[in-house]
Amino acid sequence: MTAERSNDLALAALIVSIIAHIGVMYYMSSHTMAQLPPQIHRTRNHVPMQMGSQAMAPESLHFEVLKDLEPLKNSPGAEIESPAPAVGEFEDTSSMPSAPSAPEFDLPTMSVPVPVEEAAPPLSERFSAQVGDDIFATPIAPVTTASMGQYAASAVAEETESAKEEIVTLADIPDVLVPEFELPAIANMFGGEEDVKGEIAAVALQKEESEKAEEFIPTDTVLPSVDEKVVEAEKAAVRDLLDVVDAGDLETFVSISTASAMEGDYVYFSLQFKPDADLPTMPKDIVVLIDASGSIGKDRLSSCVDAAKRILRSCTNTGDRFNLVAFRDRFSYAFKNWQECNKKSLNDADKWLEKLGAHGRTDVFATIRSVLTLPRDPARPLIAIVVTDGDANAGISETSEILSKFTELNDGLVSVYMYGVKREANRELIDVLTHGNRGESFIYGGERWNAGSGIETLAERFRDPVLSDLRIVFTQDSEAEIYPQRLRNLYRGEGVDLVGRVKADKRNVSFSIRGLNNGKPYEGFFNVNLATGGNVIYDSHLSQKWKQEKSIDDKLK
């Protein structure tokens, strides 16, 4: 009985213990940290979490400088040890998370080509290359933490492009400079060294052909209106010819006459250039613009028409071309193209001129500006002779505005000669406009039925051009102020004049002159002694001439 009772008591104790544990568990479940009563949570003091770091002892770091760099992997899609972001995750590199900051100590620099995610310019701008033994000879970019991040994004982009089965070519090489010793690695990417050289040659040829396509090619067709882009292209073509390094020697073809005079703090001087030897005559293009407005009158117009017929025959040479323009409030060309000076074209010109009648108003600016619709061949001087009374009563009528606007746009491209048909002609317009545009002027003061009698004499002055687009540059130490700043073309038997001044302590001036003959540049360098005596004559009127020339030039601004 005792043993049985003991067993019963043990069983009862076990049951009581289990019940007690279950009760304790239910009681404690409502007092865990995750289920604190709200009033207790609000009254607890929360201390912010803090992290501590211990600086690394410099002596514990050791780096071994690599003496040799293992070659790059052959595949442009080589694996990167760190996991790459998902495709499309970093469409903009600015949103890419920055790399962890590295400790401040000097790392050895490794120079390897680093792909860049930016859009690459054309191959010809990325490599300094020539086909032959010396293919690449340029430095390369160092590796940085940021560039490695870009490399990772670039690798993902390459994998994406590979999935699209796109072909990688030399044009896809990132914008880094590759030295010659890296050529084998690049060649492995793109099919061998010979293929690389071949594609470089192809790109170079393509660039050369592109430049030829952009090369200015003159036409002979009149434009429907003034295109300023075409005008700028024509002026650039002239400059390109002038700027050729291999210029002919001008000193043997030009002679210089000098005059000077001292006045106040300055020495005033004049220079006249004349052709001295046999520079060949250049073929030219000439356009005659005739005022056919009502203000010119029937008699003056008839006389000018007869003069125009004569100068097309007497003031042109073999190889010259011409055109005709009648202007009122509008202008009209006789021909859509430059005409050769032959019997048929001259007869056609006569018929067109005989149909002209005087009526309407005069838009001088639009007419003069219209000469820029005529195509300029940079190897041929283009000369316009404008026959007018100078009365602008339509369009832009302010003389100063006509002068500045046309002179700025023309910039010496077309030489403008003007002939005033009556004594009351607008002298300021006629004289100043020609002064700033490589030309000359003449105003007739006789009877109206002979109004055109002086046109032929003026035209003879530009019959035989030997040097066009003259450009004169004085040395900086000369400190010369010269006018006109844009010189006329040089014609056989005619001189080109300028006046200038320098400080009184200057005894000589040095300058260069450059111009074109049949598309070839000629240049001469000159040093002129300003002391009077010998070949330098004294001219007491030089200071007054200088002031007059300066005042005319100021009106063009």
The tens digit of pLDDT for each residue in 183-233 reads 555 455 545 555 555 666 666 666 555 454 467 787 889 998 889 999 999
Angle formed by the axes of helices 427-435 and 399-410, to 10°?
A: 20
Q: How far is CA 224 from CA 76, 367, 373, in A?
A: 55, 13, 7
∠ Cα 394 330 399 (to 5°): 35
Cβ atoms of residues 423 and 401 within 8 Å: no
Which neighbouring-strand residues pair with 517?
520
**Which phi and psi (to 5°) does residue 501 adopt?**
-150, 155
Domain 247-279+466-554 in this protein, CATH class: mainly beta
3-state helix, strand, coil in the chain (%, to 5): 35, 20, 45
Q: Is residue 395 a contact partner of residue 366, using CB atoms and an 8 Å limit?
A: yes
Cα(409)–Cα(370) distance, rounded to whole angstroms? 12
pTM higher than 0.75, yes or no?
no
446-to-389, 403, 420, 423, 452 alpha-carbon distances in Å: 13, 27, 11, 8, 10
HSE value, Cβ hemisphere, 13 Å, CA-based, for 278: 0
7: enclosing H helix or E strand: helix 2-28
Under CATH, what is the fold of the domain 285-463?
Rossmann fold (3.40.50)
* Single-letter residue type at 166: E
Token pair listed for 512 = 């260069």
The reply to whether 247-279+466-554 and 285-463 are identical in fold is no
Question: Does residue 469 sit in helix, strand or coil?
Answer: strand
* AA identity, residue 23: G
The structure tokens listed for 522 are: 């000629």
Rg (CA), the chain: 43
Predicted confidence at residue 393, as pLDDT, reads: 53
What pLDDT was estimated at residue 124?
41
Q: Measure Cα distances from 93 to 84, 149, 300 in Å.
A: 14, 9, 76
**Residue 98 CA to chain centroid, in angstroms?**
40
Helix (H, G, I), strand (E, B) or coil at 416: strand
Locate the domains of the chain by residue range.
109-212, 247-279+466-554, 285-463
Bridge pairing between strands 254-263 and 520-529: unpaired
Containing 321, the helix (H) or strand (E) segment is strand 321-327
Rounded to 5 degrees, what angle do the CA atoms 167, 171, 177 make?
130
What's the confidence (pLDDT) of residue 471? Answer: 94
User: Which residue carries 């400190």 as its tokens?
Assistant: 479
Closest CA to 458 of 420, 511, 496: 420
- Tell me the C-alpha distance between 293 and 361, whole Å: 5
What is the rounded CA–CA span in Å between residue 175 and residue 115?
7
CB 304 within 8 A of CB 387: yes
pLDDT in 10s for each residue of the chain, 557 residues: 556 667 777 777 788 778 877 776 766 555 444 444 444 444 445 444 454 444 444 444 444 444 444 444 443 443 434 443 433 333 344 444 444 444 444 444 444 444 444 454 543 444 343 334 333 333 444 444 444 445 445 554 555 454 444 433 444 444 344 444 445 554 555 455 555 556 666 666 665 554 544 677 878 899 988 899 999 999 999 999 999 988 999 998 999 999 999 999 999 999 999 998 788 999 999 999 998 888 888 999 999 999 999 999 999 999 999 999 998 878 889 999 999 999 999 999 999 999 998 887 777 777 788 899 999 999 999 999 999 876 655 545 566 777 778 888 999 999 999 998 888 777 877 888 888 899 999 988 888 899 889 999 999 999 999 999 999 999 988 899 999 989 999 999 999 999 999 999 888 999 999 999 999 999 999 999 998 887 899 999 999 999 999 998 888 77
How far apart, in Å, do the first and last CA atoms of the chain sit? 138
pLDDT at 4: 64
Residues 50, 9: Cα–Cα separation, whole Å:
56
CB neighbour class for 355 (10 Å; exposed up to 12, middle 13-18, buried from 19): exposed
* C-beta of residue 420 within 8 angstroms of C-beta of residue 430: yes
Two tokens, residue 348: 């056609």
H helix intervals, 29-84: 38-43
Q: Rounded to whole angstroms, how far apart are CA atoms 369 and 337?
A: 18
Buried b / exposed e along 212-243 (16+ C-beta atoms within 10 A): eeeeeeeebebeeeeeeebbeebbebbeebbe
483, 499 contact by CB (below 8 A):
yes
Bridge partners, residue 175, by sequence: none
